[in-house]
Copies of this chain bind each other. A is one copy, B any other.
Amino acid sequence: MATPRPTHSFKTPCERCPLRAIAAFREFSGDELEFVAKFKSGELAADAGATILVEGAHSAHLFTVLSGWGFRYKTLEDGRRQILNYVMPGDLIGLQGTIMGEMQHSVEALSPVSLCVFERNKLMTLYNKHSSLAFDITWIAAQEERILDEHLLSIGRRTALERAAYLIAFLFERGRQLKLFTSHASIPITQQHVADTLGLSIVHTNKTLKKLANRNLLRWQERTCEVLDGDGLKAAAGWEGLGEKVRPFI
């Protein structure tokens, strides 16, 4: 298991943050931008498979994903793992650890990931002096809550086939909004990740994904899922989608 390493060589200036070019994200005011640039203390790079945060840790940092894919998960004592959600560019991670003292979940990279690092002790300044950014953080937390609600609905009440279709459609929609796909839509997850997200066994997950593949909704190759028909997946899941709202990030 690799560990994240600091990137001393390069720090993306917030003024030229690549995320700001994406239509899905809201604009910063000059004032906000100036503060965020000071708030950011560095950058971190993690290899695919690296653990970015561990359950139980008292992290002094808060991160925003700059690029790459990862996931949040929890485990039971005997090793059963549940993936809670996926993290993608613009997502804030470590808020729980910052606010409540201790991480209640772990975060692992699915692909090479780069992260902006923020200092926990400057967070109070953000709340004191930049209420619009404070509101943004609440917005992000409320959005995460909404996604978890949808996941809970899926795992609790959808059939295995609907669940699988929902998950892939969800990841596809998020990736699309973030302009992560070029010619074809490839999601860097294994079937084991899908199983641990849906609460299914790996064998049954495989058979379920095969059914979706047979309907020409997706294709599985080389440890990635290629989406062929996003709308078809949404229809198979009976899922409305996330909406196209402009969202904040820090």
Contact = CB atoms under 8 A, between A and B. Distances in A.
Interface of A: 72, 74, 76-77, 80-82, 84, 95-96, 99-100, 104-105, 124, 127-128, 131-132, 134-135, 137-139, 141-146, 148-153, 155-158, 196-199, 238, 245
Given A77-B238, A148-B152, A127 B137 contact: no
| Among A72, A145, A155, residue most surrounded by chain B Cβ atoms (within 10 Å) | A145
A173 to B, nearest CB: 16
Given A139-B99, A149-B148, A80 B131 contact: no
A238 B139 CA distance: 33
A82 B76 CA distance: 23
A151 B153 contact: no
Contact of A134 (B84, B105, B135): B135
Please give me the 5 A-B residue pairs with the lowest Cβ-Cβ distance, nearest first: A156-B199, A141-B141, A127-B131, A148-B148, A82-B156
Contacts of A135: 99, 124, 127, 134
A134 B196 CA distance: 35
A158 to B, nearest CB: 7
A155 B84 CA distance: 11
Max count, chain B CB within 10 A of own CB: residue among A84, A96, A137, A156: A156
Given A138-B134, A139-B99, A157-B199, A152 B149 contact: no
Nearest to A97: B142
Contact of A96 (B81, B142, B198): B142
A144 B145 contact: yes
B149 A84 contact: yes
Given A141-B142, A145-B145, A145-B148, A153 B84 contact: yes
Nearest to A151: B152
Given A82-B157, A131-B128, A157-B199, A104 B138 contact: no
A146 B141 CA distance: 11
